[in-house]
Amino acid sequence: MNPATSFAQLDSLVALITSAVNDAKEEYSRLNLAVPDLASVDAHPMDSMPVPRKLKKAAEIVNGACAQLSTLLLSPYHALYLRCNDYITSISMRVAYEAKVADHLKEHPQGLHVSEIAARNGLEQGKLARLLRVLATKQCFREVKDDVFANNRLSVLLCSGTPSAGIVGLSLTEQFQGGNVLYQTLTDKVTGPSYAPNHSSFSRAHGGHPLWQYYREVNPAYGKRFSAAMKGFGHTLSTETMVHGFPWNNLPPETSVCDLGSGIGYISLDIMRLNPGVRIVLQDLEETIEHAKAFWQDNAHEAVSEGRVRFVPVDFFKEPPVAGCDIYYIKQCIHNWKDEESKVLLANIRKVMKPTSRIILQEYVMPHLSPSSEDSEEAHFIAQAPAPLLPSFGEGRLLQHYLDIAVMILTNSRERTLSEFKQLGNAVGLEIAEVWDCGELSALEYRLPQGST
């Protein structure tokens, strides 16, 4: 190929980056906000507000295009080696998290010598410094002088008690341990082809227990951490955007919303803050509903005392949820189960729907990566990235693929495409009426077919 022709792909990627960065600057100017400072440990206003669509898209394009551009310019040996060793970031992060490095640095904004950090957590200082340097290279922690480390915008989120601490712990322990035995799980004649929860790699690494049973019977402390992790993960997925993606604020007063598989119900709390007229019913397994009660008592006790929220334990496979609600909201539960169980769950809801009831299922809708994919319905609902990026935005939307594998490891389940969601609904007599773009996740709206009872 003519060298000049081959430069076109470099130029296209750079042009995409330039245009996306300009969009980002416009959004920060419109909101009168500065771009976050990576060295700062203070929360930025953008961290707790709905991320504007234009800014989110700009970040996805920059992320996808920078990754693609650097892969073009690096030698393939170098690029491949880096990918094979991505886990070194995870293991370094685990050491920093377990050894509470961020906590130790909290009172030392100017930084602390690694010998002092090591004196507090008992690790060998030379090894600790090398691990922290890997993380600092990935913009988590800063090395402010030789062997002196300080927190920054990312590392401060590793501190105990922050919203992200739970999801960091879950990712780096139970999920990581499961991931370690994924290959054995996939090549085992029994567990490889199976989608049963007790055949997950998590189960292989944890005495054969499926995840929920493990939390209930073996490690309730991790079970509690999982509930907190789901709330923290809301920040990763930009909960605010998820809540603003569906018109919750237009629902008439007294609309009943059953949050099924609610966890502690933090999204429902956001929904109620957006529309105080709604009536919430939280439904989950008994022990999780106890966590939900405590969370609502701490964060919205007046809604509890005024009866605007009810707590009703359920096993959603064994019995239907509370009957006759206007909305059945179910977020990131179906992705934990294979089709058979998912159909039972949806069929149980269908049994108690009124003709006007809607199911709002909030999940990732997985894209096709191939530019030749002709799923026109998907193209209608799901934004495609501009060429020469992968249509799915490549690394710009890596998170959805990470989560797809996380649920493979933890619960032996998967994220689904739009046509798979359609098939699930059709199998139990439900139709998809709308797909709402909620930023990271989508909200699929299922209704009963017209004229059905």
Site of interaction with ligand SAM (CB under 6 A): 212, 230, 261-263, 284-285, 288, 314-317, 331-333, 336
Long-range CB contact pairs, 73-79, < 8 A, 24+: 73/10
Kindly give, in sequence order, each residue whose CB lies less than 8 Å from that of residue 273, ignoring residues fewer than 6 positions away: none
Of 59, 131, 58, nearest to 90 by C-alpha is: 131
Q: Considering the complex, state which of residue 151 and residue 362 has its C-beta at the smaller distance from ligand SAM.
A: 362
Specify the residue for token string 């880096």. 82
Any catalytic annotation for residue 335?
A: yes
CB of residue 270 to ligand SAM, shortest distance in Å: 11
Q: Considering the complex, state which of residue 141 and residue 295 has its C-beta at the smaller distance from ligand SAM.
A: 295
CB of residue 396 to ligand SAM, shortest distance in Å: 23
CB 281 within 8 A of CB 310: yes
Q: 252 preceded by cis ω (within 30°)?
A: no
CB 325 within 8 A of CB 257: yes
Q: Considering the complex, state which of residue 149 and residue 266 has its C-beta at the smaller distance from ligand SAM.
A: 266
CB of residue 169 to ligand SAM, shortest distance in Å: 15
CB of residue 231 to ligand SAM, shortest distance in Å: 7
Q: Considering the complex, state which of residue 30 and residue 273 has its C-beta at the smaller distance from ligand SAM.
A: 273
CB of residue 28 to ligand SAM, shortest distance in Å: 30
Mapping DSSP to helix (H, G, I), strand (E, B) and coil, where does residue 357 land? coil
Q: Around 421, how many Cα atoms within 13 Å sit in the side-chain half-sphere? A: 28
Distance CA 426, CA 430 (A): 5
Q: Considering the complex, state which of residue 117 and residue 230 has its C-beta at the smaller distance from ligand SAM.
A: 230
Of 238, 162, 161, nearest to 153 by C-alpha is: 162
CB of residue 335 to ligand SAM, shortest distance in Å: 7
Mapping DSSP to helix (H, G, I), strand (E, B) and coil, where does residue 353 land? coil
Q: Considering the complex, state which of residue 154 and residue 345 has its C-beta at the smaller distance from ligand SAM.
A: 345
Task: Give the H/E segment covering residue 228.
Answer: helix 220-236
Q: Given 199, 206, 291, 335, which residue is catalytic?
A: 335
List b or e across 384-412, with b for residues whose CB sees 16 or more CB atoms inside 10 angstroms: bbeebbbbbbbbbbeebbebbebbbbbbb
Distance CA 143, CA 128 (A): 12
* Cα–Cα distance list, 203 to 185, 186, 318, 395, 408 (Å): 10, 13, 23, 29, 11
CB of residue 399 to ligand SAM, shortest distance in Å: 15
Q: Considering the complex, state which of residue 141 and residue 246 has its C-beta at the smaller distance from ligand SAM.
A: 246
Task: Return the active site residues.
Answer: 335
